[in-house]
């Protein structure tokens, strides 16, 4: 009998561990690259996204989800660490070295028994190393072997769904897993007019062109090309869902489907306006979300995701080794049957940026802090004498090349219309204040309207208090330190370009580099003269 009890108790912890492993949910994060709030479930007239819509219908659709920073690397860092970009030292910026002291939720999940992996784009662009110099897998081991035929000359050949299947095949039975599907679409470039020629789109499908763009044929084609890439990405998610169902894993998998920031167009990506930071988000967790097919109108930030995932995995944040997070787990939203505004404490989100792409003297950034609250957006531009999209003579490098970008530039050059150029590339005022309900395109700046002074002052004080509580260096008078973190690539690009030591960069059209300096009103000044150098390569 004693021998039996010894064997029983020796086996008991293993049994408990096995039970815990099997009941902890799998976690799947599907991250699009540069997709705005253009899924069909949000009302788009020219994009159809059945997989996203299915996840929303069988889970929760979030209507006010935001990234803290509308640029790839800092945005992805926030979702991975649960911290705003200004709380992450170098990771406030783009093209940087990821500090070794900040752990990510996939790393913590792996330490706690999860099998982790990813396909496509994880955290990028930048370099992530351990304190001793080894390469870090911030989102898990890479699964990118399977390729497929691309429908255009620009869409990635990564077979995301097949690579996800490869990952599932190597997960031990009953072991919980975490996988990150980093779909490269709809990041630029696009095959021009592919939306119409290959995607079955028509120009008249677009009911309204964003009002910061002219309503032209080239802009409409650009939007439809974006739509085709977004639909292609969504088709892979359909296959992913089918694979989960075929392997009987759909019921125990928490799925988050979102994007790192808004679409790759002027005045959107790389800015902090409504359409820059407002992201699509749908979450499905069958049997665990109390009432599916509902929407949540609470303000949600990417910093809420890591606390959510550690909680559902049964991991104590304080013991995880992750730095403190200002985020709040979404479990209370999962565990109610309410729709609309669910948690009254989720009544604001913070946004901001430091340095994104190169293209200003001395590798300067364009620091901004902002807050969304009560359908109002306040932005403080701390260095408004700088060019927000990088300098004109280096091609406005914080905006990807596109037919739309070139059109706006050429409308100014030709003297036809400076308005659209000014909205996307011109210098800005110190303060911007927008009523998002009345003005979702952020065109009517109320910051200097005396009727809004009291509301603006109260909101700015509230924002500053929150930022101070998060140890934001810019609030403490040390904002310049963010610019001291070096680029991993293109260091001193502005000076090297002006000295003809380097040429134009591949994400900018050479014709977008302005041949003259430009004043604050968009008027041409003297000709740009670069120093001659035999190493010139453009």
Alpha helices by DSSP H, listed for 320-425, are 331-334, 403-413, 419-425
The secondary structure element, H or E, covering residue 466 is: helix 453-469
Record the tokens describing residue 4, joined without a space: 């039996």
Tell me what pLDDT residue 537 has: 45
What is the rounded CA–CA span in Å between residue 320 and residue 242? 33
Please list, in sequence order, all residues whose beta carbon lies within 8 angstroms of the beta carbon of residue 437, skipping any fewer than 6 positions away.
375
What is the rounded CA–CA span in Å between residue 87 and residue 467? 9
Tell me what pLDDT residue 23 has: 82
What is the rounded CA–CA span in Å between residue 460 and residue 532? 48
Tell me what pLDDT residue 22 has: 54
Residue numbers in the chain where pLDDT is lower than 70: 1-22, 534-538
Q: What are the extents of the domains in the chain? A: 26-347, 353-527
The DSSP secondary-structure symbol of 274 reads: H
Please list, in sequence order, all residues whose beta carbon lies within 8 angstroms of the beta carbon of residue 414, skipping any fewer than 6 positions away.
none
Q: What's the distance, Cα to Cα, between the start and end of the chain in Å?
A: 84
pLDDT tens digits for 97-156? Answer: 999 999 999 999 999 999 999 999 999 999 999 999 999 999 999 999 999 999 999 999
Neighbours of 258 (CB within 10 A): 22
Query: Please, are residues 351 and 68 in contact by the beta-carbon 8 Å criterion?
Result: yes
Record the tokens describing residue 297, joined without a space: 């109108």
pTM above 0.85, yes or no: yes
What is the rounded CA–CA span in Å between residue 69 and residue 261? 8
Please list, in sequence order, all residues whose beta carbon lies within 8 angstroms of the beta carbon of residue 17, skipping any fewer than 6 positions away.
none
Q: Which long-range contacts (CB under 8 A, 24 or more apart) does 168-175 make?
A: 168/243, 168/247, 168/249, 170/115, 171/115, 172/115, 174/18, 174/21, 174/22, 175/21, 175/113, 175/114, 175/115
pLDDT tens digits for 187-218? Answer: 999 999 999 999 999 999 999 999 999 999 99
DSSP state letters, 12-70: HHHHHHHHHHHHSPEEEEEEESS--S--GGGT-SS---HHHHHHHHTSEEEEEEE-SSS
For the domain 26-347, what is the CATH superfamily, name and number? Alkaline Phosphatase, subunit A (3.40.720.10)
**Angle, vertex CA 113, rays to CA 288 and CA 236, nearest 5:** 60
Neighbours of 455 (CB within 10 A): 15
Is residue 522 left, alpha or beta, with left meaning phi > 0 and alpha meaning psi from -120 to 50? left
Tell me what pLDDT residue 78 has: 98
Residues forming beta bridges with residue 282, ordered by sequence position: 61, 257
């Amino acid at each position: 009998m004693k021998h039996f009890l010894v064997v029983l108790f020796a086996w008991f912890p293993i049994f408990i561990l096995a039970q815990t492993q099997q009941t902890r949910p799998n976690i799947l994060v599907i991250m699009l690259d540069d997709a705005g709030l253009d899924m069909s479930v949000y009302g788009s007239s020219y994009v159809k996204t059945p997989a996203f819509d299915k996840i929303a219908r069988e889970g929760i659709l979030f209507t006010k989800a935001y990234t803290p920073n509308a640029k790839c690397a800092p945005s992805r860092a926030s979702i991975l660490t649960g911290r705003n970009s200004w709380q992450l030292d170098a990771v406030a910026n783009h093209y940087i070295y990821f500090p070794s002291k900040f752990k990510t939720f996939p790393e913590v999940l792996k330490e706690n028994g999860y099998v982790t992996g990813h396909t496509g784009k994880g955290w990028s662009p930048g370099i992530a190393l351990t304190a001793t110099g080894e390469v870090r897998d911030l989102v898990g081991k890479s699964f990118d072997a399977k390729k497929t035929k691309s429908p255009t000359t620009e869409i990635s050949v990564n077979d995301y769904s097949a690579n996800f299947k490869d990952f599932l095949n190597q997960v031990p039975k009953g072991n919980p897993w975490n996988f990150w599907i980093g779909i490269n679409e709809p990041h630029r470039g696009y095959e021009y007019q592919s939306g119409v020629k290959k995607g079955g789109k028509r120009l008249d499908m677009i009911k309204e062109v964003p009002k910061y763009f002219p309503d032209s044929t080239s802009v409409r084609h650009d939007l439809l090309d974006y739509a085709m890439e977004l639909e292609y990405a969504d088709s892979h998610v359909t296959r992913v869902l089918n694979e989960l169902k075929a392997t009987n894993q759909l019921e125990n998998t928490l799925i988050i489907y979102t994007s790192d920031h808004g679409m790759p167009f002027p005045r959107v990506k790389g800015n902090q306006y409504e359409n820059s930071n407002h992201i699509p988000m749908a979450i499905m967790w069958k049997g665990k979300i109390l009432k599916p097919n509902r929407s949540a109108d609470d303000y949600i930030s990417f910093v809420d995701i890591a606390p959510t995932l550690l909680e559902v995995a049964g991991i104590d944040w304080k013991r995880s080794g992750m730095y403190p997070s200002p985020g709040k787990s979404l479990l209370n939203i999962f565990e109610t049957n309410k729709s609309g505004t669910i948690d009254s404490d989720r009544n604001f989100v913070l946004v901001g940026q430091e340095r994104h792409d190169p293209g200003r003297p001395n590798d300067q950034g364009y620091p901004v802090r902002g807050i969304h609250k009560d359908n109002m957006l306040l932005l403080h531009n701390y260095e408004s004498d700088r060019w927000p999209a990088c300098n004109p003579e280096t091609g406005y490098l914080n905006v990807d090349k596109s037919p739309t970008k070139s059109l706006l530039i050429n409308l100014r050059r030709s003297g036809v219309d400076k308005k659209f150029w000014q909205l996307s590339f011109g210098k800005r005022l110190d303060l911007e204040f927008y009523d998002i309900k009345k003005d979702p395109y952020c065109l009517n700046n109320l910051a200097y309207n005396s009727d809004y002074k009291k509301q603006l002052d109260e909101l700015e004080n509230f924002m500053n208090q929150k930022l101070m509580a998060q140890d934001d260096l810019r609030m403490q008078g040390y904002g310049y330190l963010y610019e001291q973190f070096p680029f991993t690539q293109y260091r001193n690009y502005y000076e090297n370009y002006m000295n003809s030591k380097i040429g134009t960069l591949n994400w900018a059209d050479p014709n977008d580099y302005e041949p003259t300096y430009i004043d604050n009103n968009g008027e041409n000044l003297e000709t740009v003269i670069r120093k001659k150098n035999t190493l010139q390569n453009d």
